[in-house]
Structure 1
């Protein structure tokens, strides 16, 4: 029989970057440094303790975790202003469930995170995409005009942007928040890579207390080296958090996930200790790529978008043939490389020189 699949899902392939067994995997912006043995031991103890009560449902409000996340974020954020879910993907989906839906519209500006239109599709929310400038910055006048024209209930803006790494200045966030408020919407600043910002680049958290329609989302996948735990969270007004509590599934965050995240937060200083190393390696990578004659977007994230290639797939395949996996994403002609260890980046440089036939590693 033919399944009654929604028409907009027919022929659609599931989202996902290639998961290949290669010597150097630099394609999904993971933190290359595994947790220390001290962190592993604390997580193991915490999971063992949680296991003793797995016959009971978890704290559906994740109160202890939200308190710890609020303390980590600072900026006067309270536990009632924090919400956590299974990765920032679920956080975003819940936002669209609460504030999107049939007859409503979400907006972003390309190039941007490729999952955003899928969140809109999955929640039957209309999707409108504006465009970024040639240097991947956001033209405020253009962005405000798109908001005023389409009157979205949700505006999604990553900062730093994925896949370009471009961060938004505070005045841009303020202007977009005001324009979105005028049409009755919420502005979501997705700071999945926020901890990797260059010195002097502020967080949108600084605007939160004075901007009631602002949401700032984060993840523990990147800077915390906790991609396998699937823990994302946001800070917003209590009214926004309460709306998400309405749409969240019962007991959506397992006892084990909460225990792992709390253990990681107890070791935040150690886990974040590698962020400076990754920032420095990113800056060296950007400088090297530019010295080889490549265009590179300014990056405040743990990756670099570079190009431009007449046949980017051939370059991607050439790197893969040499054991280096990066991401074929972003505008035509561009590729994205995650920042790895110095040894991994040396392998990337050598492979790219070999593939392109120019430069020195």
Structure 2
């Protein structure tokens, strides 16, 4: 039924279905916002390869026991899908508060926590509430490539300062940028993506002391940080304009569950509740996340193994003559290459997909299983010959 009009349109005939007469319309012919013209949708390549090490996923799926618990929870939720979910996800937020209290050693309650569909939506809520026309967001590159898109989509001006040569944030440079731009929102990734760099609490505190607005510390990879690296959660009581964001996509192996969250002062959470869409977090999402939190010990059991594999990868990369950034995440930035795309392509031709991101000459590899990392190393040796 639909094939013939499509073929007719391809052959230049007038489609019978009037809805298909605009098939040849280009994006530039639409009344799209000017700042969106020429832009491309965000996303890493999604390719069917034997070894996918490009999007920082946890390579270890939930056990069959946890899968069964998730299935049972989804079945329970399905019995009431004719009703809207709890629009404020109170039970889930209470569970998240308990988890963060144990992880960060700071007492948090349900009023301190907000949750949404991945940390991307959490960040969007933050920019909707505290950014906007006439306001500025500041970060320090290289860092997560979605930050300027959050700013663009919320009509917030974007300023990117520079990180130091070792990918740390120079405190004097940061304070000068804050003084110059007076940002409403400062975005600090720690550990930073794509470099893996964690920020000292003293640097975060200095930025908080100087910031005229909100400071977001993005801890998407916090569970992978090395021993002795503290979380910014410990600063929450002292700084009411601090927001610490987390995700269940990485350490919890729940990337497909799309659950991000943050910890902040209750007034901050109230501000986010104003800008969130009604019932933004489905009953199914809430149920799945609660099961994952109830099984945190099991789901996080692979974290230590991934840390060890990360450290071995850093040592190996340096042993073969490459540079590798210190990492507190589940990925490693390495280089440098005169033609990094050729290296990326060579790995892909050998069945290994990594990420072409970061500063010129650098590549990023996610940490996979020992077998996947062995395949990566073997392929990279071949490519560099």
Q: Could you state the TM-score of these two structures normalised by the residue count of structure 1?
A: 0.98
1:243 aligns with 2:271: yes
Q: Which of the numbers 178, 183, 202 marks the counterpart of 2:209? A: 178
Q: CA RMSD in A?
A: 0.6
Map 1:68-107 → 2, pairs under 5 A: 68-74=95-101, 75-107=106-138
Deviation at 1:148, TM superposition (A): 1.1
**1:120-174: per-residue Cα shift (whole Å, max 9, x none)?**
0000000001000000011011001101110000000100000000000010110
Q: Which has the larger radius of gyration?
A: 2
Q: Which of the numbers 292, 306, 329 marks the counterpart of 1:278? A: 306
Counterparts of 1:168 and 1:50 in 2: how far apart (Å)?
A: 40
Map 1:144-155 → 2, pairs under 5 A: 144-155=175-186
Residue number in structure 1 paired with 2:198: 167
Deviation at 1:316, TM superposition (A): 0.1
Deviation at 1:210, TM superposition (A): 1.0
Counterparts of 2:119 and 2:157 in 1: how far apart (Å)?
A: 21
**1:14-41: per-residue Cα shift (whole Å, max 9, x none)?**
0000000000000000000000011100
Residue number in structure 2 paired with 1:226: 254
Residue number in structure 1 paired with 2:13: none
Q: Which of the numbers 237, 245, 262 marks the counterpart of 1:217? A: 245
Counterparts of 1:144 and 1:46 in 2: how far apart (Å)?
A: 48
**1:216-236: per-residue Cα shift (whole Å, max 9, x none)?**
000000000000000000000
Deviation at 1:3, TM superposition (A): 1.4
Residue number in structure 2 paired with 1:265: 293
Moved over 4 A (4+): none
Counterparts of 1:77 and 1:216 in 2: how far apart (Å)?
A: 12
Residue number in structure 1 paired with 2:232: 204
Deviation at 1:77, TM superposition (A): 1.1
Counterparts of 2:264 and 2:309 in 1: how far apart (Å)?
A: 32
Counterparts of 2:169 and 2:40 in 1: how far apart (Å)?
A: 30
Deviation at 1:209, TM superposition (A): 1.0
Q: Which runs of 5+ in 1 are unaligned?
A: none
Counterparts of 1:273 and 1:318 in 2: how far apart (Å)?
A: 33
Counterparts of 1:265 and 1:114 in 2: how far apart (Å)?
A: 28
Q: Which of the numbers 345, 355, 361 marks the counterpart of 1:327? A: 355
Residue number in structure 2 paired with 1:10: 37
What secondary structure, in the 3-state scheme, does the structure 2 residue paired with 1:301 have?
coil
**1:306-330: per-residue Cα shift (whole Å, max 9, x none)?**
0000000000000000000000000
1:294 aligns with 2:316: no
1:346 aligns with 2:377: no
**1:336-356: per-residue Cα shift (whole Å, max 9, x none)?**
000000000000000000000
**1:189-231: per-residue Cα shift (whole Å, max 9, x none)?**
0000000000000000011111111000000000000000000
Counterparts of 2:151 and 2:367 in 1: how far apart (Å)?
A: 30
Counterparts of 1:80 and 1:125 in 2: how far apart (Å)?
A: 27
Q: Which runs of 5+ in 2 are unaligned?
A: 1-24
1:67 aligns with 2:88: no
Deviation at 1:13, TM superposition (A): 0.9
Residue number in structure 2 paired with 1:141: 172
What secondary structure, in the 3-state scheme, does the structure 1 residue paired with 2:300 have?
helix
What secondary structure, in the 3-state scheme, does the structure 1 residue paired with 2:252 have?
coil
Residue number in structure 2 paired with 1:53: 80
Counterparts of 1:269 and 1:163 in 2: how far apart (Å)?
A: 27
